Structure 1
Amino acid sequence: MPAAASNAIKTYRMMEYVRRFTAEPAAVQQLVLADPGQFFIVAVEQLYPLFTQAVPPSRATGHSLVYVTSGQARMSIGNDSYTVGPHEMLIARAGQVYSFEPGDMNTGFVCHFHDAILLGQAAPADAQVPFDFLHFWGRPVIELPAQTAEFVGQLLHRLLVEYTTHGLTYPAVVRAYLLALLHELNRAHSTDEPAPLTAAAALTNHFKHLVASSLKTTHRVRDYAEWLNISPNHLSKCVRRVTGKSPARWIEESIVLEAKVLLFQSKWSVGEVGAAVGIEDASYFSRLFRKHTGLTPLAFRKRHTPS
């Protein structure tokens, strides 16, 4: 089995993000108080209108929860796009690649938090939060039953009141409400899980895990098939059946997605970006990037660089 590849792609802290993508950074700073990398919560209808341009693929250091009470919210997470409406929670987990377009009309809450706010200062350095839905490689949407949605809405409102009144002056209070919220979501996630996965779906999920951890060093379908102890042909049939894409296409799209993040969040040259996603030939990297985006790497970077 492959070792996990090192992650060269940096992650954004909240105020870097705000300065780059909102028309009114000062307005956001009034909503997002001290140390937003640890925790913040704002009303969707106050935050979303301040984003006036598309946010390209990015990573953040914490988890983001988007809960809609009316309207809808759209976001791309990984290689897939999602739309959520009332009584649905959309989760962008820490380290996941996500992007979104402006223009959604909705109400609700955006809650962002780092693992550290849950674990506290006394937690061991290698401690992990005890919620499967924050680690699970799967659909990042939790559909909430009516009663649970009511509880979740109340908890988010109470967190918003606490945060706007006191910021993080009383972290134990914030942690208590946040833990209650996450326990409600975890219970809903457990009951919302689909029927047991078919063999093809389970194999495809395992393939996605391997691609995510080994993308920098391994691009050949036959290597992934070997790690899974199956033939390349069987892997291809399973992945196509579940995703509608071939394993090679999935790998290529994952390479391009990683490259988009680097082009946006770093100042590396095209050759350095290509090498970081495992392609040493800068010319081949540029051709692959253009094949999937219609843009050269430099044109993509220029499009998402403020003038």
Structure 2
Amino acid sequence: MRGSTVLPGTPCADPRAGDPPVHRLELRLPDDVPFAVGSLDALGPLSRASFPHRHTFYEIVHVTAGTGAHVVDLDRWELRPPHLAVIAPGRLHHWEGARGLEGTAVLFTEDFLLDQPGDRELLRRLGERPWLTLDAPAHARTARLLAELAEEYGHGSAGFATVLRSLLRVLLVRTARLPGPGPGAPAGRPGAVAEEFGRLIARTGEEYRSVREYAALIGVTPGHLTAAVRAATGRTPAELLREQRTREAQRLLIGTELTIRQVASRVGFDDPAYFCRFFRREVGRSPGDFRKHHDGRVPSLEGGAARP
């Protein structure tokens, strides 16, 4: 995940003109650990950002107090703490109308965790369940575990990165056990081919490819890719690609002030008219109508209205 961590004090990554800001994780020096944990106050004002933005890292927030809502892509979750919010890299999110928002956040990159089989699949599953309400026992267990993580991180004693990975993995496994399912909950563990396909199409800032091109990247035939993805998800690669393209267009329409022509270009359409037909077929309304019926757009960076 090159570019996902930066030296302390480095500003947010410069997005393409008109795109939402992209936040990166500061490195803890001299240890270079792509991990951080602390209260929302300790992590700074961006932990409560009210403007749509993306991360290059994972963020898990244990919300313990507050009112308002958390918006992840197109889903709006009312705050009725305690909750766990799971924000995967590339997801567009912000806190809307938040008052008295309190909690603890864990920030980490894939690079910090991925050294055991199943880690990537575990992260994928959690990323598809971005909002979980905790009962009293789960709330207490989560608070204790986060306190251990914060204590270990704060001391920075010898071997602390190993302890942090172990505690983080416990947090992830326990979170995956929590009842749901949330929107897009997985239907079952995919095979390696389907897992790699899902990882590739989830990347932001990538060019849009055909099923045949993705199959070539993975090193399988298009037929094998289709069979693997259908067995894992019940859907075809083409269907998932259309969905991913549509959701990215929706994110840009409601999270930026890019023109429809610019949005079309961002999601791989050279012809804006064809993009409009595609969008209407997938969503049931035109891009302009979809944007008009969604509030909360913020000024884009294209006009120089930079965000913190």
User: What TM-score does the superposition give when structure 2 sets the normalisation length?
Assistant: 0.56
Q: CA deviation at 1:298?
A: 11
Show CA shifts across 1:85-143 (max 9, x none). Answer: 333101112333323347541222011112222234xx6xxx65166464257442222
Moved more, 100-109 or 146-155: 100-109
Q: Find the aligned partners of 2:272 and 2:58 in 1 and give their Cα distance.
A: 33
> Are positions 1:19 and 2:5 aligned together?
no
CA separation of 1:33 and 1:80: change in aligned 2, threshold 3 A: same
The one-letter amino acid paired with 2:147 is H
Structure 1 stretches lacking a partner, 5+ long: 1-9, 22-30, 203-208, 219-226, 228-247
Match in the other structure for 1:193 = 180
Instruction: Determine if contact 1:43/1:108 at 8 Å carries over to the other structure.
Output: yes
Bigger helix share: 1
Opposite residue 279 of structure 1, the aligned amino acid is: F
CA distance in 2, matches of 1:13, 1:102: 29
Q: Which residue number corresponds to residue 81 of structure 2?
A: 86
Q: Deviations over 1:37-91 (max 9, x none)?
A: 8211120233464668633242x23211110122246322121122343331011
> What CA distance in whole angstroms lies between the structure 1 residues aligned with 2:250 and 2:57?
23
Q: Give the one of 95, 113, 135 matched to 1:145.
A: 135
Paired position in structure 2 for 1:179? 169
Could you say which residue in structure 1 is the equivalent of 2:222?
none
Give CA deviations for 1:221-267 in whole Å, capped at 9, x if unaligned: xxxxxx9xxxxxxxxxxxxxxxxxxxx99975641315777989xxx
Residues 155/101 of structure 1: CA separation in 2 closer, same or farther (3 Å cut)? same
- CA deviation map 1:9-39 (0-9, x unaligned): x986577997349xxxxxxxxx984488821
Q: Equivalents in 2 of 1:88, 1:135: separation in Å?
A: 17
Measure the CA separation in 2 of the matches of 1:166 and 1:155. 17
Measured after TM superposition, the shift of residue 274 of structure 1 is 3.1
8 A Cα contact 2:35 2:108, kept in partner: yes
- Among 37, 42, 47, the alignment partner of 2:38 is 42
Indicate the SS of the match to 1:163: helix
Instruction: Please tell me whether residue 257 in structure 1 is matched to residue 251 in structure 2.
Output: yes
Aligned to 2:114: 119
Q: Is the 8 A contact 1:115 1:128 kept in 2?
A: no
* Other-structure match for 1:159: 149
Give the equivalent residue in structure 2 for 1:106: 101
Q: How does 1:203-282 map to 2 (within 5 A)?
A: 216=208, 254-258=248-252, 274-281=264-271
Deviations 1:187-207 (A, max 9, x none): 2x2xx1359x9xxx98xxxxx
- Contact preservation (8 Å) 1:57, 1:98: yes
Change (3 A) 1:136 1:169: closer
Instruction: Please give the alpha-carbon distance, in whole angstroms, between the structure 2 residues aligned to 1:37 and 1:280.
Output: 41
CA RMSD of aligned residues (A): 5.1
Query: 1:37 touches 1:62 (CA, 8 Å); kept in 2?
Result: no
Kept in 2: contact 1:14–1:37 (CA 8 A): no
Question: Could you tell me the TM-score, scaled by structure 1's length?
Answer: 0.56
In structure 1, how many angstroms separate the alpha carbons of the residues matched to 2:288 and 2:260? 13
The alpha-carbon deviation at position 152 of structure 1 amounts to 1.1
Asked if 1 retains the 8 angstrom alpha-carbon contact of 2:114 and 2:120, the reply is no
- Structure 1 residue 300, shift from structure 2 partner: 3.1
What is the letter of the counterpart of residue 250 of structure 2?
A: V
Query: Following the alignment from structure 1 to structure 2, what is the Cα–Cα distance between the partners of residues 71 and 117?
Result: 30
Return the alpha-carbon distance in structure 1 between the equivalents of residues 246 and 158 of structure 2: 42
**Is 1:64 aligned to 2:50, yes or no?**
no
User: Could you tell me how far 1:177 is from its partner in structure 2?
Assistant: 1.4
Read off the aligned partner of 1:129 and give its amino acid letter: D
> Any unmatched runs of 5+ in structure 2?
14-25, 188-197, 211-225, 227-241, 280-285
